[in-house]
Amino acid sequence: MYKNKKGQAAMEFLMTYGWAILAAVIAIGVLAYFGVFSPGKYITGNAVVNPPFYITAANAKASHGADGGVQIALKNNGGENYDIHNIVIGNCGNYTGAPDAILADTTSTITIDCTVGNHLDVGDNIKGDITITYQKVGVAVDLTSTGTVAQKVVA
């Protein structure tokens, strides 16, 4: 008889509080469906690359004009002079100008064009892997530095 009382108490507990737990799970599911918990909406701006480079600033501009794309301020922290041959940002585009020399401990501003195949509208988020192909000055060996870029597009 004692065991029946325990079973009855457990059943009463589940019937009383089970509905509240079920309602909370459904409410969380609805909020997740409508994107309340999407971290992509809250991008504050982030750009990181491996040494010898460092991105001191990054900005994504709408691509309705000739200057649209991701603009980065790339600092050479390597202590040597480097020639930048190519910069690619996934989901955006690439920069393939003439080799740009970045002297040791200096910063160069580079714009990666995102107008080909992709349109950047104000308020969009752009996130992609960045790959920088470079060479030491006077050495014909390609080196790479990789990282990530996440930015909100501004006007």
pLDDT digits (tens, 9 = 90+) for 22-60: 999 999 999 989 878 776 666 678 889 999 999 998 888
Residue 125 phi/psi, 5-degree rounding, is: -110, 140
pLDDT tens string 116-147? 556 777 878 888 899 999 999 889 899 999 99
Q: Is the pLDDT of residue 76 over 90?
A: yes
- Give the pTM: 0.69
- Each domain of the chain, given as residue ranges in start order, spans 2-37, 43-154
Alpha-carbon gap, residue 78 to 106, rounded angstroms: 10
User: Please, what CATH class does the domain formed by 43-154 belong to?
Assistant: mainly beta
